[in-house]
Amino acid sequence: MKVQETEEPANILDRLIRYSDSVRLFIKYTISKKMLYLLGKNVYIHPTVAFNIPNKIRISDDCKLYQGVILNARSSHEIGIQLGKGVKIHEYSYVDSYGGNVHLDDYVGIGHHCIIGGHGGLTVGKYTMISGLTYIVPANHNYDRRNVPYLHQGETCKGIKIGNNVWIGAGCTILDGVSIGDNAVIGAGAIVSKDIPENTLALGVPAKVIRQL
Ligand SMILES: CC(C)(COP(=O)(O)OP(=O)(O)OC[C@H]1O[C@@H](n2cnc3c(N)ncnc32)[C@H](O)[C@@H]1OP(=O)(O)O)[C@@H](O)C(=O)NCCC(=O)NCCS
């Protein structure tokens, strides 16, 4: 089998489109960075990071936002998304305050492809690690009425609190109203629907404590 060694050279139209896309991206990135509510020192932001409503986003010193991250700060609060010192958000994760707010305290790490919502409020304590593909959703649709589509029944939002130095394994779902205590570990794939006390290891669907740490 013959291996093709070179790529087909791009025609002038392709090149122009690619060039104008890069220019558009660069302008959007530069403008929204300038509009951020607060931008700390020594912050790394990959050029593909997108900010919606940047004037409600606060980014402290030493934060790192990697490729494809989206911060969407639609919120009725003054600040929709607040990142403490040294927070890292990995590739393609989506953080959306959904009308509430998201506060990630110092040195929180968010893995890749996470969805982090702030509907009823989300606080995550210092040094907590949230592994890839995790979904944190501090809201539920109401579904009591039979004659109205769920879409139009509104939402209940209680909020989620995650303590300091928690490790949430890959692919977990954290549901509304839950608190996870300091130093807890949540096994990969768990669905957390009830509070998890501090210093415990919890696993499974729904997540249950299997031992003290
Ligand atoms: C939770 C975890 C840390 C536990 O590891 P551990 O202390 O070595 O625990 P063990 O492997 O001894 O498992 C204890 C029991 O729980 C089960 N178990 C382990 N992890 C589980 C999980 N995530 N969900 C359900 N059951 C699990 C084991 O099969 C074992 O069952 P058994 O007693 O019937 O044999 C680990 O299993 C885990 O989920 N790690 C997450 C890794 C990850 O997501 N990394 C992302 C990058 S940071």
Whether 200 has a pLDDT exceeding 90, the answer reads yes
Rounded CA Rg of the chain: 20
pLDDT 10s digits, 71-121: 999 999 999 999 999 999 999 999 999 999 999 999 999 999 999 999 999
Please check whether residue 78 lies inside any domain of the structure: yes
Please check whether residue 26 lies inside any domain of the structure: yes
Whether 203 has a pLDDT exceeding 70, the answer reads yes
How much is the pLDDT for 31?
Answer: 74
How much is the pLDDT for 30?
Answer: 75
- Which one is predicted more confidently, 189 or 32? 189
Encode the chain in three state secondary structure: CCCCCCCCCCCHHHHHHHHHHHHHHHHHHHHHHHHCCEECCCCEECCCCEEECHHHEEECCCCEECCCCEEECCECCCCCEEECCCCEECCCCEEECCECCEEECCCCEECCCCEEECCCCEEECCCCEECCCCEEECCEECCCCCCCCHHHCCEECCCEEECCCCEECCCCEEECCCEECCCCEECCCCEECCCECCCEEEECCCCEEEEEC
How much is the pLDDT for 84?
Answer: 97
Cβ of 109 closer than 6 Å to ligand 1, yes or no, is: no
pLDDT 10s digits, 119-135: 999 999 999 999 999 99
Residue 115, domain extent: 9-212
Please check whether residue 2 lies inside any domain of the structure: no
**Number of folded domains that form the chain:** 1
Q: What band does 151 get if pLDDT is binned at 50, 70 and 90?
A: very high
Neighbour tally for 158: CB within 10 Å = 15
Amino acid at 142: N
Q: Is 112 a catalytic residue?
A: no
Q: Which residues partner with 99 through β-bridges? A: 75
Sign, CA dihedral 71-191-194-176, equals positive
Neighbour tally for 7: CB within 10 Å = 6
Please check whether residue 114 lies inside any domain of the structure: yes
User: From atom 10 of ligand 1, which residue's Cα is the shortest distance away?
Assistant: 187
Please check whether residue 3 lies inside any domain of the structure: no
- Which one is predicted more confidently, 170 or 26? 170
Give 144 Cα–ligand 1 centroid separation in angstroms: 37
How much is the pLDDT for 36?
Answer: 75
Please check whether residue 34 lies inside any domain of the structure: yes
Give 203 Cα–ligand 1 centroid separation in angstroms: 7
Give 187 Cα–ligand 1 centroid separation in angstroms: 6
How much is the pLDDT for 7?
Answer: 58
Give 128 Cα–ligand 1 centroid separation in angstroms: 18
User: From atom 36 of ligand 1, which residue's Cα is the shortest distance away?
Assistant: 187
Cβ of 170 closer than 6 Å to ligand 1, yes or no, is: yes
CATH code where residue 33 lies: 2.160.10.10
Please check whether residue 4 lies inside any domain of the structure: no
* Most informative mutation of 93, 173, 203 for ligand 1 (most atoms within 8 A of CB): 203
Q: What band does 3 get if pLDDT is binned at 50, 70 and 90?
A: low
Whole-angstrom distance, CA of residue 195 vs CA of residue 60: 29
Please check whether residue 120 lies inside any domain of the structure: yes
pLDDT 10s digits, 4-60: 555 566 677 777 777 777 777 777 777 777 777 678 899 999 989 999 999 999 999
Burial (0-12, 13-18, 19+ Cβ within 10 Å), 174: buried
pLDDT 10s digits, 137-150: 999 999 999 999 99
